[in-house]
Amino acid sequence: MYSLELEKVISEIKARNSKQVLIQLPDGLKPEANKVIDAIESQTDAKAFLWLTDCFGACDIPLGLDILKIDLMIQFGHNRYWKTQEW
């Protein structure tokens, strides 16, 4: 129903030579999570992981991923957020 753009996802992972990828999905797309992981791990050399809980938007990106040596994070369902200086 929603285009996961898996070809683009695979292409980006290969182009960046990513080894560990974190996937973040909004609630509506979480049931598709296994399709994303399976596609990545079968078509690239990367390991893929899932962010468990909420993803409220592109403003809501997990921090500290360097500790896990995640080199690429892919967030689905949102496009880039332009933060303003002040409210």
Partner 1 sequence: MTQIIFIDAKWEGIITLEDKLKNYLQKNKINSLALFASVQFSDVENFIKELNKINIKVNITKAKRTGKPMQILGCDAYHDSFETPILEESDAVLYLGDGYFHPKALLLSQVKNNKIKPVIMWNPISKTIEVLNEKIIIDQIKKYKRNLRMYVNAKTIGILVTIKPGQNYFVTAKKLKEFLEKQGKKAYIFVDNNLDLRHLENYPFIDAWVNTACPRIGTDDIVNIRQPLINIKEAGNPIKALEELEFRN
- Interface residues with partner 1 (CB under 8 A)? 1-5, 8-9, 12, 16, 18, 22, 29, 54, 56-61, 63, 65-66, 70-84, 86-87
For residue 71, give the nearest of 40, 54, 44, 48 by alpha carbon. 48
Contact 81, 58 (CB under 8 A): yes
Q: State which residue, 1 or 42, has the beta carbon closest to partner 1.
A: 1
For the bound state, the minimum distance from the C-beta of residue 34 to partner 1, rounded and expressed in Å, comes to 16
If DSSP states are collapsed to H, E and C, what string results for 44-57? CCCEEEECCCCCCC
Q: State which residue, 15 or 42, has the beta carbon closest to partner 1.
A: 15
For the bound state, the minimum distance from the C-beta of residue 21 to partner 1, rounded and expressed in Å, comes to 10
For the bound state, the minimum distance from the C-beta of residue 77 to partner 1, rounded and expressed in Å, comes to 5
What is the DSSP secondary structure assignment for residue 21, as one 8-state letter?
E
